[in-house]
Amino acid sequence: MNWEELRKKYGQPKRTRRPPSNEEHQIQSACVRWFRLQYKQYLIWAVPNGGARNQVVAAQMKEEGQLPGVSDLVIVADHAILFVEMKTEKGKQSEYQIEFEKRITRLGFQYVVCRSFDDFKATVEHWLNEIQKRKNDATKEQ
């Protein structure tokens, strides 16, 4: 389903959505701290899509381009972008998140779901190694 079909079927995302667990917050915070210390030359940022807001702020954010389902983190390194959705071991992607993942991957970007700090660290290191290999291969071809 695309976003329009999801909105017709489910309406706007429910305000009663369970907030991210403290565990998810702690994992994501540790991941961001580690990344910023380890890879100061690259960028990582969080997308503040979740959380309780009053109606005025919610309407403003929607007008400004907020998109349901956008990944929790975005990483930019050497002409590549990685979209990271953080979940606990039992966490599941919403239909909006699944639709966002489909659209991002169709556009040629990478999207991953990480469930722990170790998972995030291994994923990022593998992704950065692949970028470096492509960069080295391109240099050899010249």
At 92-134, the pLDDT tens digits run 999 999 999 999 999 999 999 999 999 999 999 999 999 999 8
For the chain, the structural domain boundaries read: 3-141
Torsions phi, psi of 55, nearest 5? -65, -35
Alpha-carbon distance of 63 to 34, in angstroms, equals 33
At 35-82, the pLDDT tens digits run 999 999 999 999 987 767 788 887 888 888 878 899 999 999 999 999
- Identify the architecture of domain 3-141 in CATH: 3-Layer(aba) Sandwich (3.40)
**Cα angle, residue 112 at apex, residues 50 and 136 outer, rounded to 5°:** 130
Between residues 140 and 46, which one has the greater pLDDT?
A: 46
Token pair for residue 65?
């381009």
Q: Is 74 helix (H, G, I), strand (E, B) or coil?
A: strand
